[in-house]
Amino acid sequence: MEKITFAVLPTLFGWMGVIASQRGIRRLNLPTASRKTALQNLGPEIIDGVWDPSSFEKLRLKIERYFLGEKVCFDEALDLRKDAKFFQHAWKACASIPRGETKSYAWLAMKSGSPSAVRAAGQAMARNPVCIIIPCHRVIGSNGLLGGFGGGLALKQRMIELELKQ
> 51 has which bridge partners?
6
Rg over CA atoms, the chain? 15
Residue range(s) of every CATH 1.10.10.10 domain in the chain: 85-164
Overall fold of domain 85-164 = Arc Repressor Mutant, subunit A (1.10.10)
Catalytic residues: 136
Please give the pLDDT value at position 53.
Answer: 96
Top-tier CATH class for 5-67: alpha beta
The answer on pLDDT for 144 being more than 90 is no
d(CA 27, CA 132): 11
**C-beta atoms surrounding 27 within 10 Å:** 22
Instruction: Provide mean pLDDT across the span 87-109.
Output: 95
What is the tens place of the pLDDT at every residue in 27-65? 999 999 999 999 999 999 999 999 999 999 999 999 999
Residue range(s) of every CATH 3.30.160 domain in the chain: 5-67
Residue 2 binned pLDDT confidence (cut-offs 50, 70, 90): confident
